[in-house]
C-alpha cells in the first residue's frame, strides 16, 4: 500500500484515463482528416484542437481539480499546447518525408510528450494555489 501511495497519485490515474481518451479522439480525427485532405498541418491542427479542448476541461475539473481560474490556467495550457503542437507536427512531417505511414508517424511524438506532460500540467499549468 505504501508503494502505491508513494508512486501512484490518484491524479496520475485520472491523467492516464483522460490522456487515453484524448489520444483516441486525436488519433481518429487526424487519420480521418488526413485521408480526406492529405494535409498534416490541417489534420493535426483540427484533431489537436478538438482533443485538447476535451483534455483541458477534463484535466482542469477532474484530473487536477484546479482552483485556478480559467484565465490563468488556460493561458499556460495554450502555451504548452502550442509548443507540443509545433514539436508534434515537425516530427510527423519529418517522418512522412522519410515515407513513414501517417498512422505510425502520428504516434511517434507521444514518446516525447507523455513522459513530460503530467509533470508540466500538474506542477505548472494546473498548479494549486498555496
Quote the strand ranges of the chain, DSSP E.
none
Q: Is residue 59 part of a domain?
A: yes
52: exposed, middle or buried (Cβ count in 10 Å: 0-12, 13-18, 19+): buried
Is the overall model pTM greater than 0.85, yes or no?
no
Q: Is residue 83 part of a domain?
A: yes
Q: Is residue 75 part of a domain?
A: yes
* pLDDT grade for 5, boundaries at 50, 70 and 90: low
- Per the structure, the count of domains in the chain is 1
Q: Is residue 6 part of a domain?
A: no
| pLDDT above 90 (res 112) | no
Cβ(44)–Cβ(30) below 8 Å:
yes
Q: Provide the pLDDT for residue 3.
A: 47
pLDDT tens for 13-41 read 999 999 999 999 999 999 999 999 999 89
Q: Is residue 80 part of a domain?
A: yes
Q: Provide the pLDDT for residue 128.
A: 76
Give the residue numbers spanning the domain of 43.
Answer: 11-125
Residue 52, all three cell numbers: 485538447
Amino acid at each position: 500500500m505504501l508503494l502505491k501511495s508513494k508512486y501512484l497519485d490518484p491524479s496520475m490515474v485520472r491523467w492516464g484515463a483522460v490522456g487515453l481518451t484524448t489520444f483516441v479522439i486525436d488519433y481518429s480525427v487526424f487519420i480521418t482528416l488526413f485521408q480526406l485532405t492529405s494535409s498534416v498541418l490541417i489534420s493535426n491542427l483540427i484533431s489537436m484542437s478538438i482533443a485538447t479542448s476535451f483534455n483541458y476541461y477534463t484535466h482542469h475539473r477532474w484530473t487536477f481539480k484546479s482552483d485556478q481560474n480559467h484565465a490563468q490556467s488556460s493561458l499556460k495550457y495554450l502555451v504548452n499546447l502550442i509548443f507540443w503542437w509545433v514539436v508534434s507536427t515537425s516530427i510527423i512531417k519529418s517522418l512522412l518525408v522519410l515515407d513513414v505511414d501517417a498512422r505510425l508517424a502520428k504516434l511517434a511524438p507521444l514518446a516525447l510528450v507523455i513522459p513530460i506532460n503530467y509533470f508540466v500540467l500538474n506542477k505548472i499549468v494546473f498548479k494549486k494555489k498555496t
